[in-house]
Amino acid sequence: MDFSIADCSMIIKSDSKTCGDFFKVIKFEMEHISGQPGYLGEYYYLNITYEKLDGGITSGKYFMKSLPYHDAVLTEAVESWGIFRKEAELYSLLFNKYERDPKKVTKWAPDCFVARSNMLVMEDLTSTGYQTTSFQTTLNGQHMKAVFDRLAQMHASSIHFEINQLGGKSIGAIYNEDVLFETTFTSTSGWFVAGLKGIQKIASERNRYSHDPRKKAIIENQLWSCLERIYTLAEDTEEFRSVVVHRDLWINNIMFKYDQTDDLCEKPTDCLLIDFQLARYLPPCVDFVCALYLLTNAEHRSQYADRYVEYYYNSLQNKLAILGLNGPSILSREQFEKSLDHYRLLGLVWTGVLHGFVNFPKGMLAQLHQEDPETYTRMSMENRDDFILKYYDSDSFFHDRLDDIVTELLEHLFDFK
C-alpha cells in the first residue's frame, strides 16, 4: 500500500483538531484491526507522531481502510465491483463539498482526510467515544430516532448541494455513471443472487406459510419473480425526488455515542453513519425502509412504524428549512407516503438478503474464510442455502430475524394471514 510521510502531513493539516498547531511529521505506524467484520476491506489504526509549533511532540490517531490485500480473489472482485473507488469518490466529489457549517448541519458521517481508489483515511470515531452496537441485536426507539435524524440530515444536505451547486442539473445526471453506480442489486452479482436464493429456500421449506399446500404452491410458483422486482426498484427513477442514499444500513454501519452513566447503552447522545459503498441516487424513502426493516423486528415495527414516518419526514423538513429551502415544495408528505408504498418491497427483500449473511454466529464467516476458502467463496458468491438452513435450524437469533422478515415479505406480497 502506497502511503507516505507527505500523506500524513496532509492529514494533520486537514484535521481541524490538529492543523493550527502542526510543524512536521516525525513518523507514522499502521496497526491492523483484527476481528473486524470488514468483509470487503482491511482495517487499520493509523498513528501519526508529529512535532508541534512549540517543539512539543504529540500524536493523532486515525482510521484507515484499504482493499482486502490478504485475499487476492476478493481484492480482484472488490476492484471489479468498483465499491472502494465509489466510496472514495463519494467523499471527494460530493460529501466533502456539502454544507458543513455546524450551525446549519448536524454531523452525520465521519470526516475523511484521504480518499483514493484503494484507501480511505478518516477520523477515528472510537477515540471520541463512538461504538457499534453489540452483535446480534435490534434497536430501540431512541436509537431508531437518532438513525432517522441523521438520515434526514444526509438527505437534506444532498438536496441543498444539488440545488445550490450544480447549476440546475441533478446529482444523478452528473454522478450516476461514474460514482453512484449500482454495485449490488443486480442479477450479475453472485453474492446478491445467492441471498435471493436463501429467501426462496426459507420461504419454501421453513416458513410457517409453507405448511399450507395452497400457499406453498404460490411461494414456489410466484415468489422468485417478485424477488427479482428489486432490480427494477434499484434503477434510477423520474417518478420521485431522489437524493444520495446509503442503503447498507445494517447494524455495523451505524456508530453511536452514549453518556458515561448509560451503562446499558440505551439512550444514544449521538449517531454517525459509516460505509457508503452501496450509495445510490434514489428517493429518500429507500433509506427509511432499509433502516426500518434492517434494524427492528416485526413487533417493534407494528408499534412504531407510523411514528417513525412522522418523525423522519418532520426531521427532513426542519433540516431543509435550516438550509434555507422550502421543504414541502421539494418533497410533499403525500409524495413521501406514495414513495414508501412503492419501495417497501426493496426494504423487505434487501433485509432478507442481508439477514441471511451478516447474522451468522460471531466469527463463523472469518473462521470459514480461514479454514476452507473454497467453501467460503462458494457460499459468498454462488449458493449459501445449506448454511442458511443449518443456522436457521440451530441459532435462535439467525432464525428469528430471517423468519421475521420472510414472513412479513410473504404477507406483503401475497396477503397471507
- Report the pLDDT averaged over residues 135-154: 95
Cα 292 to the chain's mean position, in Å? 13
| pLDDT for res 38 | 55
| pLDDT for res 54 | 87
Other C-beta atoms closer than 10 Å to the C-beta of 186 total: 13
| pLDDT for res 338 | 98
Residues 6 or more apart whose CB falls under 8 angstroms from that of 187 comprise 193, 228, 231
Please give the Cα distance from 27 to 8 (Å, whole number).
Answer: 9
Other C-beta atoms closer than 10 Å to the C-beta of 34 total: 7
| pLDDT for res 148 | 99
Other C-beta atoms closer than 10 Å to the C-beta of 1 total: 12
Q: Which residues pair with 243 in a beta bridge?
A: 282
Size (the chain), residues: 417
Q: What percent of the chain is predicted at pLDDT more than 90?
A: 84
**Residue tagged 415544495 (cell numbers):** 329
Please give the Cα distance from 398 to 151 (Å, whole number).
Answer: 27
User: Has residue 392 got a pLDDT over 70?
Assistant: yes
Please give the Cα distance from 250 to 73 (Å, whole number).
Answer: 25
Other C-beta atoms closer than 10 Å to the C-beta of 157 total: 25
Please give the Cα distance from 301 to 163 (Å, whole number).
Answer: 34
Question: Letter for the amino acid at 182?
Answer: E
Cα distances from 323 to residues 98, 102, 243, 284, in angstroms, run: 11, 11, 15, 17
Other C-beta atoms closer than 10 Å to the C-beta of 406 total: 29
| pLDDT for res 35 | 62
**Are the beta carbons of 270 and 257 closer than 8 angstroms?**
yes
User: Has residue 311 got a pLDDT over 90?
Assistant: yes
- Report the pLDDT averaged over residues 48-72: 89
Domain 129-414, CATH: 3.90.1200
| pLDDT for res 39 | 62
Please give the Cα distance from 409 to 349 (Å, whole number).
Answer: 7
Please give the Cα distance from 116 to 123 (Å, whole number).
Answer: 15
Q: Which residues pair with 47 in a beta bridge?
A: 29, 61
| pLDDT for res 243 | 99
User: Has residue 16 got a pLDDT over 90?
Assistant: no
pLDDT digits (tens, 9 = 90+) for 195-204: 999 999 999 9
pLDDT digits (tens, 9 = 90+) for 207-256: 999 999 999 999 999 999 999 999 999 999 999 999 999 999 999 999 99
Biggest alpha carbon–alpha carbon distance for the chain: 79
Other C-beta atoms closer than 10 Å to the C-beta of 170 total: 16
* Mean pLDDT rounded to a whole number for the chain: 94
Question: Letter for the amino acid at 69?
Answer: Y
User: Has residue 391 got a pLDDT over 80?
Assistant: yes
**Is residue 123 classed as helix, strand or coil in its secondary structure?**
strand
| 22 pLDDT tier (thresholds 50, 70, 90) | confident
pLDDT digits (tens, 9 = 90+) for 90-135: 999 999 999 999 999 999 999 999 999 889 999 999 999 999 998 7
| pLDDT for res 240 | 98
Look up the pTM and report it.
0.95
User: Has residue 70 got a pLDDT over 90?
Assistant: no
| pLDDT for res 149 | 99
**Lowest-pLDDT choice from 162-166, 359-363, 405-409:** 359-363
